Amino acid sequence: MPAGAGREPLDLTLRLRHAAVDLHAVAAAIARGSRAPMTRREFAARFGAAAADIEAVVAWARRAGVAVVQVDRTRRSVHVRAAAGRLARIFRVARVRYRRDGEVWDGYDGTISVPRALAASVTGVTGFDRQPGHAARPLAATGSPARSVSFTPQGIARHYGFPRRADGSGQTIGVIALGGAVLRSDIAAFFEEMRLPRPQVTVVGVAGRAGGHAPSGEVTGDVQTAGGLAPGARIVVYMAPNTERGFLEAVSHAVHDRRRAPSVISISWGRNEMHWVRRTLRHFDDVLAEAAALGISVCCSSGDTGALADRFDRRPRVCFPASSRYVIACGGTSLARRHGLPVRERPWANRLGASGGGTSAVFPRPAWQQGVATGGVARRRRVPDVAANADPDSGYRVCFEGRWVVGAGTSASAPVWAGLLARVNQMRGTPAGLVTPLLYRRYRALVAGGAIRPIADRPGAGAPARWSVHTGLGVPGGARLASALARPV
């Protein structure tokens, strides 16, 4: 490290233990439909950090000369700040400066060791690794404006038969944004051109990120797709640094945002689950379980490189957070549109990418995925659960920096499902929450009623019997699926 490098301030988040009650058991019961989602007040009382644990951390910080920036009992987190070198010594790691592909960032070497005074209270620490994109990568790029086939929100809504009597009114969709911003002028131009009412878009800065940064095609496409498909909903963009801590903090803030209370969260970011620090991955999965407990639907992109989660690991892998049991993992399809003929839909796999899918190496098979595969892999979580259009050759119109381009990837299929679920929540009058158990449990009836449409793995092949590694259970039959989900169960 350069001389004096340890003097700059560093922010860390200390994650505290939750109550003795098993959060995951409660989330599973809610997913089965055997109990109703928790209210935010009930959740805070049952799973919030113990006062004694908070007091122990604050007392330790005072003795150690570490500033306490923020305490959040509900999220069980304490945000601290001190000189980077001092924090590295306290947690017994070596700070390292990395360089790759023209980027420079500070990270660490070794295993984070929690001081003895905190061992009973603190279950994890994030913030030492500040690699750009370390914990999350956009899973789709903005395509070329020259592509001849692209879809408007109205076109996608027609193709998937979205319910016309709902537009997401009264709902809030949370959009996770890492390392980029969205231009208000692009939002205004998009909805004016689409002749749709412009939704209210609010930006919330998380972990030191509060706007004023370069616009991101990823974030812009997410906002325009979700907002175009649910124009009555409010859109809240949770903007955080594109780091491990930033990603986790953005999702945690969205889940526990009492003021805006999103009922649906769209995440178009992810990373090979084997490249996560295992303890951080478990903490992130806890946050997603908290979303399920609160009745929040979390839609995640499954990835754009088929069976390979990224270009650094050539072994078949899946991406997290799509591999969590508490999210709706969204894969991708390709739409072939010919003049005068119906749109043909097939799994997305071509020169531009492929729908991410496969078997988790970390998470066990949820009870509701029984029977989706045979053999040893059946004991693990399978990805994706569902799908929607994702091919850049049949992508989505996006206004970015004043230009009309085409965006795609499974980072587009996630906001498609988010927009649909916002309409479902409006029709229900209560959040649908984690819908995947119901989709698997009632799969045959949903297919028979046109609420789910399976996608054949290849042209001329029959529809998969239950689940496909490319497209999961299939794509939505919007209005019919909405009607099936609109009845609280």
Q: Which domains does the chain have, with CATH numbers?
A: 5-126 (no CATH), 137-485 (3.40.50.200)
**332, 387 Cβ separation under 8 angstroms:** yes
Predicted pLDDT of residue 146: 41
| Active-site annotation holder among 106, 222, 273, 385 | 222
| Amino acid 338: pLDDT | 64
46: part of which helix (H) or strand (E)?
helix 40-47
- Considering the entire predicted model, what is its pTM? 0.92
290 is known as an active-site residue: no
- Give the number of other Cβ atoms within 10 Å of residue 19's Cβ: 13
**What sign has the CA pseudo-torsion 63, 64, 66, 69?**
negative
Tell me which residue has tokens 């309409």: 423
pLDDT at residue 451 in the model: 96
Amino acid code (one letter) for 328: I
Give the 3-state DSSP-derived string for 307-349, with helices as H, strands as E and coil as C: CECCCCCCCECCEECCCCCCCEEEEEEEEECCCCCCCEEEECE
Q: Examine the residue annotation and report whether 411 is marked as an active-site residue of this protein.
A: yes
Q: Which residue has the tokens 């158990």?
A: 437
Q: Does residue 266 have an active-site annotation?
A: no
Query: What does the pLDDT profile of the chain (489 residues) look like in tens digits?
Result: 554 457 889 999 999 998 667 888 888 888 887 888 999 999 999 999 999 999 999 999 999 999 999 999 999 999 999 999 999 999 999 888 777 766 777 778 888 999 999 999 999 999 988 776 643 333 344 444 444 578 999 999 999 999 999 999 999 999 999 988 899 999 999 999 999 999 999 999 998 765 556 888 889 999 999 999 999 999 999 999 988 899 999 999 999 999 999 999 999 999 899 888 888 999 999 999 999 999 999 999 999 988 887 766 778 899 999 999 999 999 999 998 766 566 789 999 998 899 999 999 999 999 889 877 544 456 899 999 999 999 999 999 999 999 999 999 999 999 999 999 999 999 999 999 999 999 999 999 999 999 999 998 765 555 666 789 889 999 999 899 999 997 654
Strand runs (DSSP E) across 73-193, as ranges? 77-83, 94-100, 103-109, 122-126, 137-138, 142-143, 150-151, 172-178
Question: Count of CB atoms within 10 A of residue 117's CB?
Answer: 14
Kindly name the residue from 216, 323, 355, 411 that is annotated as catalytic.
Answer: 411
Cα separation, 285 vs 249, whole angstroms:
13
Distance CA 383, CA 322 (A): 7
Of 129, 167, 218, 385, catalytic: 218
In the block, tokens 């910080």 appear at 61
**Residue 448 φ then ψ, to 5°:** -60, -35
